[in-house]
Each structure stands twice: as C-alpha cells, then as structure tokens.
Amino acid sequence: MKRLLAATEVTAAIFLLLIALLTASNVFVRYVFNFQIPDWFDGASMIQAVTLSWGFALATYYGSHICVDVFWEFSNVRSKRRIDLIATFVTLVFSIAMAWMMWVKSLGVGGQTTMDLLIPLDWFFIPASFGMSVGAVLCAVRLLKVWRGEVDDLAPEEIS
C-alpha cells in the first residue's frame, strides 16, 4: 500500500512540476524573446487536469480534502464512524462513476489534437483516467479501513 501511495504522490508531483516548468518557460520566452510556446495554455490546462485527478486520489485516501466538519466534530465516536462510512461510501460511488466517465471520454477522443503542436489529446486524458481510477481504488481501501476502525493511521505524516 505504501508503494501505491508513494507512486501516486510522485505522479501528482511530477505533473505539478510540468505545469510550473511549462508556465515559467513560457513567461521567460515571452519576455526575453517576444515569443510564446505553442499550445502552452492548452498543455498547462490538460496537465492540470491530470494533476488534479492524481491529487484527488490522495485526498480521498487520506480523508484530507476540503470539508465542513462542524457536525462531525461535535459527534460522539460512534456517530463519527457512521458519518465517515456514509461519506466515504458516497465518495466511492461518485469516484467510480467519474473514473468510468473519464475512461469513456479517453477512449472516445479519437484523433483529436491540440491546436498548434497537434499533440493527441489522449496523451492527457489517459493519465487523468488512471488518476481517477487510482482514486476509486484508494477510496475503496479507505472505506474498508473506516469499516474496520483503522482510520487513525491514514495521516500522511505517519505513512512515511
């Protein structure tokens, strides 16, 4: 499990680095050479979608996504577990649906490409689909851990 989480974190970080490099490179060549990298905006947008899908996988597993948990905070331990089970199950259902729809989209892109460099769009859609699929798997693992009462060991700082 630690290897899957580490690989997911590294994948998200690499794609985030690619966005930063592409954006910084474009700014540099725009100001120094008065020229733009072709498809930089489309590329950065597509890479951002890939990054978000892999980040979603991690946030879902760790249960650290943005949420409003005032009701949860004032609940007893038993109610907190029930809330976590329901929330994780609902997230799992939507994660599976999202992963499925991402794969339908990825496999239906056909020969579509970016405007300038003619980069195939499936080069972006397929990694994003894998990220959503990993998110669904990690959500199922989290649901199992919540069911077993093992959620205390999910904090990112404790996994290393």
pLDDT at residue 153 tops 70: no
Question: What does the DSSP 8-state code read for residue 151?
Answer: G
pLDDT at residue 20 tops 90: yes
Residue 140: phi and psi, rounded to 5, are -65, -40
26 by DSSP, 3-state: which?
Answer: helix
What mean pLDDT is predicted for residues 124-135? 95
Q: Specify the higher pLDDT residue, 153 or 86.
A: 86
Here the tokens at position 76 are 């007893």
Domain with 51, as residue range(s), is: 2-159
The per-residue pLDDT for 65 is 64
The number of domains in the chain is: 1
Count of beta carbons in the 10 Å neighbourhood of residue 88: 23
10 Å CB burial of residue 19 (0-12, 13-18, 19+) is middle
pLDDT at residue 152 tops 80: no
Is pTM beyond 0.85? Reply is no
